[in-house]
Structure 1
Amino acid sequence: MESLKNALTFGGILSEKEVEHVASSFEVEWLDSGDNFLKLGGYSNHIGFVDEGILRVFIVGGEAEETTKYFVRKGQFALDIESFYEDSPSRSAIQAVVKSKILSISRKKWNRLYEEIPKLYILTKSLTEAGLLNKIKDNEFLDFGSAKDKYLEFIKRYPDLAVKVPQKYIASYLQITPQSLSRIRKELL
């Protein structure tokens, strides 16, 4: 819960009392590896915060092939923004990669908190902007270099993910085949 409170202090927008109130509105949810926080085509009715573990956000493309868009790590929020705000079916899914402790709040409770704490809207906007900028920066390296270069950059940026996330999800994120990733990893040993 402390990592959630730290996240809610972003920008100094909320008072300590308001942070406590918002944080106390979240509920603990445990996901086993492979459990969905949000199913493909489902409605994003909850905001999740990763207290422990790792989630992956993925889409399904042609021939029912999954592509990992990004990973959600400890201290980060998880939701499909478009689905959450437009109350529309999600075009991506969110799944636990390892056993994960998620702090979760329903859209209904979140909207009620907006009424109780108007500054929460400003915090939400700030967190959303910061999160989107981080995703753009996180994914920039995927557009350049060889498969080996991408993997080396991945393990440099995310050493924890490189050892905890199954190889098939890393390969999907790097936009290479699992076989190519296996070859690269053997070369580096």
Structure 2
Amino acid sequence: MEKLKSALEFGGILSKQDIDYVASHYKNRSLKAGEHFQEFHKIANEIAFVESGILRVYAVDDNGNDVTKYFIRKNQFFVDLESYYTAKPATDSFQAIVNSVLYTIHKSAIEKLSDEIPNLYIFIKSVTEAALLNKIKDNDFLNFGDAKTKYLEFVKRYPTLAQQVPQHYIASYLKITPQSLSRIRKELVEKSHGNGRSKP
């Protein structure tokens, strides 16, 4: 709960009293690795905060392949914005990759709180904009360079994800085949062993 309260301090928009009051409306929810927070075709009606763990957001392409779009890390808020605001069924699914602990709040509670605390609307708008910018920044390297360049950049930016996320999800996110990723990792391990360094 302290991490959630700390995140609610973002931008200095909410007072300490407001933060305590808003945080009291969140519910704790645990997900085991592989469990879904939200599945396809459901309407998003909750905003969540990641206390610990990692989730992935994925869709299914025209060929029925599972495509990982991005990862959600600890201390991040998340929601399927389009489904949440339009009340249309979601086209993305949110799945825990490792055991994860979330705090969630229902749309109806947010609406009630926004009537009581006008600054909450400003806070949500600010967090949403920051999340969208982060998503763009997170994905900006995906269109540049070859597979190896993308993987090295991914490892550099997100060492924890590189260690904890299963390889096939990383390959899907990087838009390369699992075989290509295995080859790249093998090559890097061999190279690091040749240099007497520890494996990446």
For normalisation by structure 2, the TM-score amounts to: 0.93
Q: Which amino acid aligns with 2:87?
A: D
2:56 paired with 1:44: no
Partner of 2:34: 34
How far residue 144 of structure 1 moved from its aligned partner, in angstroms, is 0.3
Q: Which amino acid aligns with 2:185?
A: R
Q: Which amino acid aligns with 1:3?
A: K
* Structure 2: distance between partners of 1:3 and 1:88: 31
2:137 paired with 1:134: no
* Structure 2: distance between partners of 1:46 and 1:136: 23
Q: Which amino acid aligns with 1:92?
A: D
Corresponding residue SS for 2:140? helix
Q: How does 1:12-161 map to 2 (within 5 A)?
A: 12-161=12-161
Q: Which amino acid aligns with 1:128?
A: T
Corresponding residue SS for 2:130? helix
How far residue 62 of structure 1 moved from its aligned partner, in angstroms, is 1.8
* Structure 2: distance between partners of 1:74 and 1:24: 20
* Structure 2: distance between partners of 1:87 and 1:133: 23
Corresponding residue SS for 1:142? coil
* Structure 2: distance between partners of 1:167 and 1:42: 28
CA-based RMSD of the aligned residues comes to 0.7
Corresponding residue SS for 1:70? strand
**Structure 1, unaligned runs of 5 or more:** none
Q: Deviations over 1:94-148 (max 9, x none)?
A: 0000000010111111111111111000000000001100110110000100100
How far residue 7 of structure 1 moved from its aligned partner, in angstroms, is 1.1
Corresponding residue SS for 1:75? coil
Larger Rg computed on CA atoms:
2
Partner of 2:7: 7
* Structure 1: distance between partners of 2:168 and 2:40: 19
Q: Which amino acid aligns with 2:96?
A: A
Q: Which amino acid aligns with 2:27?
A: E
Q: How does 1:154-169 map to 2 (within 5 A)?
A: 154-169=154-169
User: Structure 1 stretches (4+) deviating beyond 4 angstroms?
Assistant: none
**Overall identity of the aligned pairs, in %:** 56
